[in-house]
Amino acid sequence: MGTVSSSAKVDGSWDEIAKSSDEQKLHQSRSRSAEIGCTFWPFLGFKNICWPRSHQSAASLGISDSGTGTLISEKNSSTQPSGQTGLSGASLKSEGRERSVSLKGGDDLVLASQLKSFSFLDLKSATRNFRPDSLLGEGGFGCVYKGWIDERGGGPVKPGTGLTVAVKTLNHRGLQGHKEWLAEVTYLGQLRHPNLVKLIGFCIEDDKRLLVYEFMQRGSLENHLFRKSASPLAWSTRIKIALGAAKGVEFLHSRETPVIYRDFKTSNILLDGDHMAKLSDFGLAKDGPQEGKSHVSTRVMGTYGYAAPEYVMTGHLSSKSDIYSFGVVLLELLTGKRSMDKTRPNGEQNLAVWARPYLNGRARLLEIIDPRLENNYSVKGALKAGQLAFVCLSRDPKARPSMGYIVEVLELIQGMQDTASSADAAQVSAGEKNRQTYLPSGFLQKMGSC
């Protein structure tokens, strides 16, 4: 992932957040990131919901190449877990179901036993010497190459045979890259869920750091939404992707020690052959607050346009930070527009800021639905999705729902089969002008101007 210097800051009111890395100034603000468990949102179809925290079964998963968005970063930022600074020398030792990698300097990195240890020469051969035509993508972490390995032994095999994998190489850029590598190995080495990318193994030799993932046939959601040559995603596919990604984050948040993903964005959502969404790139993941605390304090890292405003302003990180980022991605799925785009007119460059007024009612919401859908979407589903995005993007973290609630709403939307036509959309738009029943009385007043 790319980074900007520690001088990247945020300026002005919440509505002006994330204009650009050069225009922003950090300022102190009282944190509102306390967790909540129950609320009353009848306009989304649920009443007095207490969101369940359930673990999901494991399955085979996939691989990531980092996106190219503008990132928030500060020098010597720490990621969870903290790691050793030495980049050369390592030895492996096995202890039951886990293995310990001794890094130069005396620190140990505990690895899950299911991870394979690859030699650099094997990965070099598997990717055909890291040839340019094997390159899948490139980000601040490094380059990602396509390769082929034996399904059982893990050795290199002839291209087109065995197991197709993606091999991510670490740029030699010092401490921060190594910390992100450690976080990726630690979290994905231990966590297994159908909607998380599957880490197959690693390589750590001298100053070389590589990660091996299962190959994901359809690449990133970012490419499908924004690449000009890509066919537009169908409405049902968009909701399926949103639901899968939400289940992945719900799994992270529901652990005994919650994991905050901290980098939820379209480039980190990968798709398999059936458009099943899997979260990738855990370099910024961090353990969440414990013992009744509402947040953890950390240096600000992430991507402008996706990062929650209270986190950008104060460094206070909670699971609600991920909820805000999810709301931004949901907006991208609804509108087909990027979270940040400086080519758009002033006032429209930040999608969350520009789109918020359109989420308050049916008439305006239907104006911003991705025109490439050509009215082939559920009007009821789109309205509910818009309202869901509205609460996810609340300026008050306490007012944002949990990911369990989001999953329930998306499952409801997935079951909606009505399809919009031009006439239907026009009728809904005209009828809404004289109706104020979609939001409960006083709801917007209670939420303020958010």
Q: List residues forming the annotated binding site for ATP.
A: 168
Cα separation of 393 and 21, whole Å?
A: 21
Catalytic status, residue 11:
no
Residue 119 DSSP label: P
Cβ proximity of 260 and 321 under 8 Å: yes
Q: Beta strand 208-214 with 199-205: parallel, antiparallel or unpaired?
A: antiparallel
Feature table: binding site: 168
Q: Collapsing DSSP states into helix, strand and coil, what is residue 39?
A: strand
Is the separation of the CB atoms in 251 and 59 below 8 Å?
A: no
Distance from C-alpha of 133 to C-alpha of 417, rounded to nearest angstrom: 43
- Residues 284/141, Cβ–Cβ less than 8 Å: no
Cβ neighbors of 49 (< 8 A, separation 6 or more) are: 38, 39, 41, 405, 408
Instruction: Give the separation between CA 188 and CA 208, rounded to whole angstroms.
Output: 19
Amino acid at 355: A
- Catalytically annotated residue among 65, 122, 263, 281: 263
How far is Cα 60 from Cα 36, in angstroms, rounded to an integer?
32
- Active site members: 263
